[in-house]
Amino acid sequence: MVEYDGFTFHGDPDRSDATDRSATLHELDWNVMSIASDDVRRRPVETVRRIDLEWQLVWAA
């Protein structure tokens, strides 16, 4: 699962809800990859490569 977050989310010092959600998904054997909106805007090619690499690793397992 790819999670897309904006600056407001990443700038928030209290992200315990997101941490709880990620922990729960990991317990269910989900792979969660967080992508910041800045990465998509400033480094789109690198971001797509990162997502692609993650998918390759997941499917190879």
Tokens 């317990």 locate to 27
Q: Which whole-number Å values give the CA distances from 36 to 1, 28, 43, 55, in the listed order?
A: 14, 23, 10, 18
Q: Give the pTM.
A: 0.63
Looking at residue 14, its pLDDT comes to 65
Q: pLDDT (tens digit, 9 = 90+) per residue, 5-54?
A: 676 655 566 665 667 777 888 888 888 888 888 888 999 999 999 999 98
Looking at residue 52, its pLDDT comes to 94
Give the pair of three-digit tokens for residue 54: 């993650």
Looking at residue 10, its pLDDT comes to 54
Q: How many alpha carbons lie under 13 Å from residue 31 in its C-beta half-sphere?
A: 9
